[in-house]
Structure 1
Amino acid sequence: MKDPSSSKSDCTSTSHSSQSQLPREADEVALATNTASSAPLDQSIKRKSVVRYPILDILLAKNDPKEADRAGMPSDSVRLSQWKELRRKALPGQNPTDLVLVYAPTGLGGIEITARDYNRLEPGEFFNDTLVEFGTMRAFHKMQETNPTLAEQVHLFSSFFYSKLRSPLPSEGYQSVRKWTSKFNLFDKRYIIIPVNEDFHWYLCIIYNPKGALPPQMPPPRPASVITKPVMGQNQTKTIEVVDLDTDGEMDIETATVTNSPNACTLFVLDSFSRVSTNALRKVLVTYLLNEAIDKKLVGSEWDDHELEKWFQDHVVPEVAEVPRQQNFCDCGVYLVHFAEIFLSNPEKAIGYMMERGQSNSADESIWNKSGLKMQRITMKEEIDRLAVEWKAAR
């Protein structure tokens, strides 16, 4: 599988080119040792540590308990010596690339979790693609075990799916993932789950009822710009701003009247940091659904290209879900996995909640289990420990 060192991490403001300039772990320990007994850290170091240097969060926590809470650390782990002990226990082997577990629930391929990946489950560490893949795939596998019929209505894409789609040329982006759906019709699924890493930030996308975006075989006369937006058990009309794709490919913002319908295709964005541009995201995924429909010959040949673009644009409705917000800069991957677990445990309940609540100002504890977020890292660690024992025994 991929080199873990190249895995995506979340919620850091640095670019790939600057990652090589960050201090190595040994340098971080030395820096921490030299400053552990000093006065409260300089504010410039404090600002950098939240984003770049998780180990410094330990020192910040020693001087300011509020920072320990922001970093998601329990109160008994704020001392450097205790952090070192946690670090030692988190690495089962001497080599960070040692395999801890190969998770292959279907028997084909597998997710390779190394000691370096496992260490990212510690408080203050950023999730990479390996942990996101494991967390989401494990939740989906549990659904397959408990409700295989419902699981047939779900498709879970890899965390690399969206990054491949974001090619400068949309046709090239689609070609890179075209064969991923060669054995099934994506539009027959009711729920499409897409983990997204964009600008080093993780969030979750769910496409509900993709079949609702398909046009009839014959193009109708062009009506006024009307978009159907599903709200369970309601039949209402409201006005929203939507993104339009011009003939030159540029995006415009226009006002459209939205009629609620349970048969529409809805793109839900579950972002714990409230920083996602739904316009750009929607453009990429609308283009993907359009290309997928054309490639699988689900669109009549009488459609004009521009009219077909407009149809898909008007029938894929963006909806920013009201979800719990992270309180630090390192937990967006944790939140993504948690949202996926909650959704897959009861998709219809989650969809109904997200549609009805809309832009409410509070995320309901009864649906999102916010208290469970604090245990997410520990729960995943215990799950990997248990599965690792079984995997090693079967080797």
Structure 2
Amino acid sequence: MDPEAVELAYSDMKCLEPEEYLKSPVINFYLEYLKKSRPRRDLYMFNTYFYSKLENALSTLGNRDSQFSKLRRWCRNVDIFTKSYLILPINETMHWSLIIVCMPTKGADSGPMMLHLDSLGLHNSQNIFDIVASYLGEEWRNLRKDSSYDIPFSRTIWKRLSRNIKGEKIEVPRQQNEYDCGIFMLYYIDKFIQQAPERLTKESLGMFGRKWFNHEEASQLREGIRTRLFDLFQSAKEDDGPSEPEWQSF
């Protein structure tokens, strides 16, 4: 089985009905769809469960190295610092927002930049920045143990990486209802993948803004995902016989 396959129940599609909140199985399905349909080797996308695991690792008493060793299994064989971008879905208090970590180039004089995109402005950006920065710091400390590690950017920045991680709250188009936060988060990701340069700097932040796209474009994504999933379940039903499939991996 494909290790990136997402297992979905037919009942998971209920969250795609009008005025419903998107749930993790459907969001993860669409993230995998974006990976395959808009491939970018310079980008790494975490699934929706990673952030909660990260919060748990930071809040658990005891050996932090042990906690983060378990966390590394989620992105095994991926050096996050060699990517241009890290995409990290955030779910707190029944609301979805998005973190995009932008890594610097080899010659840059600034460190990683965390962007927070929130379609309602409900999440505490600074709290999320602190959590994500802690993750980057732990990964940095782990890699520093390896004297042969090929540092992916300026040694000056790398030497004091924890002090060089910055956060930016980004103005973005807002949802016009209470329930489209997951839809908007996915649309932010899709638009970003299509438009982001090889490396994003602070001077490039003008690509965002309240007029980045029309909010109606994002809301229409709900029906697009629903149609795509319905077609996949119908195909699975035809392949497997007359009984309606309860679960499928895509």
- Same fold by TM (over 0.5)? yes
Q: How does 1:216-255 map to 2 (within 5 A)?
A: none
* CA–CA separation in structure 2 for the residues paired with 1:373 and 1:203: 14
Conservation of the 8 A alpha-carbon contact between 2:16 and 2:222: yes
Aligned pairs, number = 226
**1:264 positional shift:** 3.1
3-state SS in 1 of match to 2:131 = helix
Choose the corresponding residue for 1:133, options 4, 8, 28: 28
Give structure 1 stretches of 5+ with no counterpart: 1-103, 145-150, 213-260, 301-307
* CA–CA separation in structure 1 for the residues paired with 2:97 and 2:225: 18
3-state SS in 2 of match to 1:288 = helix
Q: How does 1:297-376 map to 2 (within 5 A)?
A: 297=144, 311-348=160-197, 351=200, 355-357=204-206, 363-364=210-211, 367-376=212-221
Higher RCO (CA 8 Å, separation ≥ 6 residues): 2
Matched, 1:189 2:83: yes
* CA–CA separation in structure 2 for the residues paired with 1:375 and 1:350: 29
Q: Deviations over 1:197-243 (max 9, x none)?
A: 1122111111011677xxxxxxxxxxxxxxxxxxxxxxxxxxxxxxx
Who is 1:154 aligned against?
43
Who is 1:280 aligned against?
127
- Assess, with a 3 A threshold, how the Cα gap between structure 1 residues 353 and 324 changes in structure 2: closer, same or farther: farther
Who is 2:152 aligned against?
none
* CA–CA separation in structure 2 for the residues paired with 1:354 and 1:273: 25
Who is 2:247 aligned against?
none
Choose the corresponding residue for 1:267, options 95, 114, 121: 114
* CA–CA separation in structure 1 for the residues paired with 2:238 and 2:3: 19
Q: Deviations over 1:148-195 (max 9, x none)?
A: xxx111111111111011121382652331222331311111110001
**1:280 positional shift:** 1.4
Q: Deviations over 1:106-131 (max 9, x none)?
A: x3352122232101111111111112
3-state SS in 2 of match to 1:284 = helix
* CA–CA separation in structure 2 for the residues paired with 1:269 and 1:327: 19
Q: Percent identity?
A: 22
* CA–CA separation in structure 2 for the residues paired with 1:391 and 1:354: 47
3-state SS in 2 of match to 1:368 = coil
Matched, 1:163 2:52: yes
Conservation of the 8 A alpha-carbon contact between 2:104 and 2:110: no
Matched, 1:117 2:12: yes
* CA–CA separation in structure 2 for the residues paired with 1:298 and 1:120: 45
TM-score scaled to structure 1, two decimals? 0.51
Aligned letter for 1:378? E
* CA–CA separation in structure 2 for the residues paired with 1:297 and 1:268: 25
3-state SS in 2 of match to 1:363 = coil
Give structure 2 stretches of 5+ with no counterpart: 148-156, 241-250
* CA–CA separation in structure 1 for the residues paired with 2:203 and 2:14: 34
Q: How does 1:55-134 map to 2 (within 5 A)?
A: 107-108=2-3, 110-134=5-29
Aligned letter for 1:160? Y
**1:296 positional shift:** 3.0
* Higher mean displacement: 109-118 or 343-352: 343-352
**1:393 positional shift:** 4.5
Matched, 1:205 2:96: no
**1:285 positional shift:** 1.2
